[in-house]
Structure 1
Amino acid sequence: MLSRTASELFWMARYLERAESYARVLDVTWKLSMIPATASSRGIWRYR
């Protein structure tokens, strides 16, 4: 019984961590899509 509970908590935490990672990727992707197209022509991503 305890082993089953521990296993289910482990998998729940693993999937929760995975969902958090996906949410972060989506957040960054969305924020990057909001950058105007003219920003890239000004060299905003140029390596210094």
Structure 2
Amino acid sequence: MSTRSSIFSIEKLSEGKSEDKKEILSQFFGISRDNSRFAEKKADK
């Protein structure tokens, strides 16, 4: 659910400056990496 809202935010802000887009995308992918690490930890248990 949070992923969907993040993508929506990126689409909504994609109308803005390209610098803003890069910042949002870098934050989004940073969150994605954290989520995959969290999933791996869950799988270990």
Instruction: Give your verdict on TM over 0.5.
Output: yes
Q: Superposition RMSD on alpha carbons, in Å?
A: 0.3
In structure 1, runs of 5+ residues without a counterpart are 30-48
Give distance in 1, aligned partners of 2:21 and 2:43. Answer: 33
What is the TM-score when the length of structure 1 is the normalising length? 0.59
Ranked by relative contact order (alpha carbons within 8 Å, sequence separation 6 or more), the top structure is: 2
The structure whose Rg is larger is 1
**Percentage identity across paired residues of the two chains:** 7
Task: Give 1 or 2: higher helix fraction.
Answer: 2
